[in-house]
Chain A
């Protein structure tokens, strides 16, 4: 049955040469893989979704991350998983008349939340708007020099923690969700990095780790939460989370604390006597892109 003719043999030799060269070329093509430094451990790979973790699972994960942080940054972090407080729904209000565009909030946020420094990931964008215009297209995010400039006002934008959040709907794996206190969080160990949430967000609030985040040891903030500012891996999405590791422990977000003009206000929407509730009741308040219907928990207001 086998073809033993000369042609058959040369044919087999030919196929053999082809197979060997294909195998060699495949090995060469795979060569870059030897430089990989951040392959997940088996534990990480098999880690379950946040909402399916038992308290023991969670403690083991926190401990693992503490060790990883210690190994990489030389500090054992105070890593916890602060839970939403009962009877609390966070809201944010920004006094558009007071903001001077100094961007202190932008940098305080980066410092607080352990973002990658190079490339620098910033959660807050400050738009320099022409007075008399509310069209964001005429704004500039790249303004430089002394502020405030004549003829302009400033509108910082960060995650609006929408009540009807398009990003949460978009996520195919429930890696981002809304907590009972209204904060929209991301589990950096569950996100698959498809970036559909980024396409869905009407406020340009989400950031992606296009490469391994680069955070110098001396810049690490060791006070961290699992769903907030712990160091992030490569290839996942992150965003503002109202500094939940601070706010769920009774402190203000870093951006509120640092603002030199008092333009930023934060508090519990469910408490009728809170500063935020009084602002919503008494001031001229608006939300950005109301027409998209996302019902943000982030409001802009002005004094009159």
Chain B
């Protein structure tokens, strides 16, 4: 038993030491990310001392950028499933070499999600109230309690799958299916569930007509399966440029297919939602009107949403054209889609439901600089984490780290 533990610790140590190696570009990248993370930490400390008054949120718009980012990132995490399904269910080997990188992304992103929820709390010191059995968990009634369960569960499942598979590669052993296949199947179901539960968080509120729409969960999934694999397309190109890890064009093109189809579905579902809102033209259209055209002289979100629409449209056209079989246009399309969806799902989905308030008042929301810095910090920290994960894992996958090698 002790040998198993020491072996594992040696493995972790060897992998960890790899994070201290790299050329100047690596150290510059890590320094920039660390600086970003520390700026965010500093901004959060200010918020911790003064309260959420340091943000642009109000009684009227009680959720803002933090929950917007959270919502987007849950989708990014769920997107790992789009790699898992072809590899493990259909035994399509194209994506085999990249599925671990997708799962590692899911781990880093879930950590970001948990951070975004934590910084949004008015009483972070009472976090333990939300721990099952320790605090007072309103499960299964509160959708937020469901979110706690599914997010942490997803983190654990992916950590197990990645940790186990990478360790087996390191030891040169064939992974025992019994020890990971059940978790792979569970993770597929679970990935869908994290984003569905996050959608239900909004859908379940009868007092917010903008959210109270059955199409939110499918929309969330479609946009997630665009942004997540899109992000991986960008990552994989960097990985194969800067490491010895071989990633075929075929794998990237397979991801392109996923991004392409998901983007079409995403735009279609968005269109369905907009049709229902604007054609019906009931009192419930107020939030959508505010978002797209402004309401009673207030236009706070109009530039945001039209930016998103333009980015989405450009990405869609690029993805549908054969030109995106080339890597540069494809990367451009992915970048546009990621930013477009980030706006659409964040500022375009979370904020307008609060405007106008249920009593008809219009209080606009403008994030403060401090709020932006906290977001910057979490994004930097997440990218830092993902870089470290890749740095630790890829040498194992390429065979540079082995139990015997030193």
Q: Which residues of A contact B (CB under 8 A)?
A: 1, 15, 18, 22, 25-26, 28-33, 35-36, 39-40, 45, 49, 52, 119, 125, 127, 135-139, 141, 157, 166, 169-175, 190-196, 198-204, 206-212, 233-237, 289, 292-294
Contact of A137 with B360 in the complex, beta carbons under 8 Å: yes
User: CA of A97 to CA of B38 in the docked complex: distance in angstroms?
Assistant: 58
**Residue contact A18 to B358, C-beta cutoff 8 Å:** no
Docked-complex contact B59 and A196, CB < 8 angstroms = no
Residues of A within 8 A of B20 (CB): 15
Q: How far is the CA of A170 from the CA of B205 in the complex (A)?
A: 9
Task: State A98–B136 Cα separation when bound (angstroms).
Answer: 44
Picked from A138, A211, A237, A289, the residue with its CB within 8 Å of the CB of B50 is A211
Contact of B238 with A by CB under 8 A:
no
Q: How far is the CA of A291 from the CA of B389 in the complex (A)?
A: 50
What is the chain B residue whose CB lies nearest that of A35? B49
> Is B323 in the interface zone, CB < 8 Å from A?
no
Structural contact, A32 and B130, CB atoms closer than 8 A? no
> Are A171 and B130 touching (Cβ within 8 A)?
no
Chain A contacts of B120 at CB under 8 A? Answer: 194-195
> Chain B: which residue is nearest A12 at the CB level?
B20
29 A-B pairs with CB atoms under 8 Å apart are A25-B38, A29-B38, A29-B39, A31-B42, A33-B49, A39-B125, A49-B129, A52-B136, A137-B286, A157-B359, A169-B141, A170-B144, A172-B142, A172-B145, A173-B126, A173-B129, A191-B123, A195-B122, A198-B62, A199-B63, A200-B205, A204-B59, A208-B52, A210-B51, A210-B52, A211-B50, A211-B52, A235-B123, A292-B207
Q: How far is the CA of A202 from the CA of B205 in the complex (A)?
A: 9
Partner of B123, one of A119, A196, A236, A292: A236
Contacts of B34 in A (CB 8 A): 22, 25
Partner of A172 from the list B27, B57, B59, B144 (CB cut-off 8 Å) is B144
Q: Is B35 an interface residue (CB 8 A)?
A: yes
Residues of A within 8 A of B31 (CB): 18
**Quick one: given A135-B360, A171-B142, A211-B51, are A192 and B126 in contact (CB under 8 Å)?**
yes
Chain A CB within 8 A of B206 CB: yes
In the complex, chain B residues whose CB is within 8 Å of the CB of A173: 126, 129-130, 135-138
* Contact between chains at A208 and B62 (CB < 8 Å): yes
Instruction: Indicate whether B53 reaches chain A with its CB closer than 8 angstroms.
Output: yes
Which residue of the partner chain B has the closest CB to A200?
A: B205
* Interface positions of B (Cβ within 8 A of A): 20, 27, 31, 34-35, 38-39, 41-42, 45-46, 48-53, 55, 57-60, 62-63, 117, 120-127, 129-130, 135-138, 141-145, 148, 201, 204-208, 283, 286, 353-354, 356-361, 406
State A1–B405 Cα separation when bound (angstroms): 13
Q: Give A77 to B46 CA distance when docked, in angstroms.
A: 32
How far is A120 from B138 in the complex, measured between Cα atoms in Å? 31
Query: For residue A138, which residues in chain B have a CB less than 8 angstroms away from its CB?
Result: 360
CB <8 Å contact, B138 and A210: no
Chain A residues within 8 Å of B286, by CB: 137
Nearest residue (CB) in B for A169 is: B141
Q: Which of B27, B129, B205 contacts A175 (CB 8 A)?
A: B129
Q: Which of A29, A136, A234 has the most CB of B within 10 A?
A: A29
The 3 A-B residue pairs with the shortest CB-CB distance in the complex, in nearest-first order: A193-B122, A202-B207, A235-B122
Q: Do A172 and B130 have beta carbons less than 8 Å apart?
A: yes
A/B pair count, beta carbons within 8 Å: 185
Known A141-B361, A196-B144, A235-B123: A204·B57 in contact at CB below 8 Å: no
A36: chain B residues within 8 A (beta carbon): 48-49
CB-CB under 8 A from A203, the residues of chain B are: 207, 358-359
Closest B residue to A14 by CB, please name it: B27
Q: Report the separation of the CA atoms of residues A157 and B50 in the bound assembly, to the nearest whole angstrom.
A: 30
On chain B, the residues within 8 Å of A235 by CB distance are: 51-52, 121-123
Task: Specify which chain A residues have a CB less than 8 angstroms from the CB of B206 in the assembled complex.
Answer: 166, 202, 292-294
> Are A199 and B52 in touch, CB under 8 angstroms?
no
New A-B pairs, 5, CB < 8 Å, besides A166-B206, A204-B358 = A136-B360, A196-B144, A199-B353, A212-B51, A289-B207
Give chain B residues whose Cβ lies under 8 Å from the Cβ of A209: 51, 122
Q: Report which of A137, A172, A199 forms a contact with B62, defined as CB distance below 8 A.
A: A199
Nearest-neighbour CB distance to chain A for B267, whole angstroms, equals 27
- Report the minimal beta-carbon distance from A46 to chain B, rounded to whole angstroms: 9
Closest CB of chain A to B70's CB: distance in Å? 11
Q: Known contacts A29-B38, A49-B136, A236-B123; is A166 also within 8 Å of B144 by CB?
A: no
The reply to whether B208 and A125 contact each other, CB–CB distance below 8 Å, is no
In the complex, what distance in Å separates the CA atom of A187 from the CA atom of B182?
Answer: 42
Distance in angstroms between the alpha carbons of A76 and B176 in the assembled complex = 68
Given known contacts A28-B42, A208-B52, A210-B51, A289 and B358 CB-to-CB distance under 8 angstroms: yes
Query: Which residues of chain B are within 8 angstroms of A196 by Cβ–Cβ distance?
Result: 142, 144, 201
* A206 with B63: CB separation less than 8 A: no
Nearest chain A residue, comparing its CB with the CB of B362: A137
Residue of A nearest to B37 (CB): A29
Measured between alpha carbons, how far is A25 from B124 in the docked complex, in Å?
23
Chain B residues within an 8 Å CB radius of A206: 59
Q: Is the CB of A170 within 8 A of B53?
A: no
User: Contacts A172-B142, A203-B359 known; A198 to B59 CB distance under 8 Å?
Assistant: yes
What chain B residues lie within 8 Å of A169 (beta carbons)?
Answer: 141-142, 204
Note all chain B residues with C-beta closer than 8 A to A195.
Answer: 62-63, 120, 122
Determine how close the nearest CB of chain A comes to the CB of B111; give it in whole angstroms.
18
Tell me whether A201 and B207 are in contact (CB under 8 A): yes
Q: Residues of B contacting A1 with CB < 8 Å?
A: 406
B121 CB contacts on chain A under 8 angstroms: 192-194, 235
Contact present for B35 and A174 (CB under 8 Å): no
With a cutoff of 8 Å between Cβ atoms, the chain A residues found around residue B62 in the complex are 195, 198-199, 208
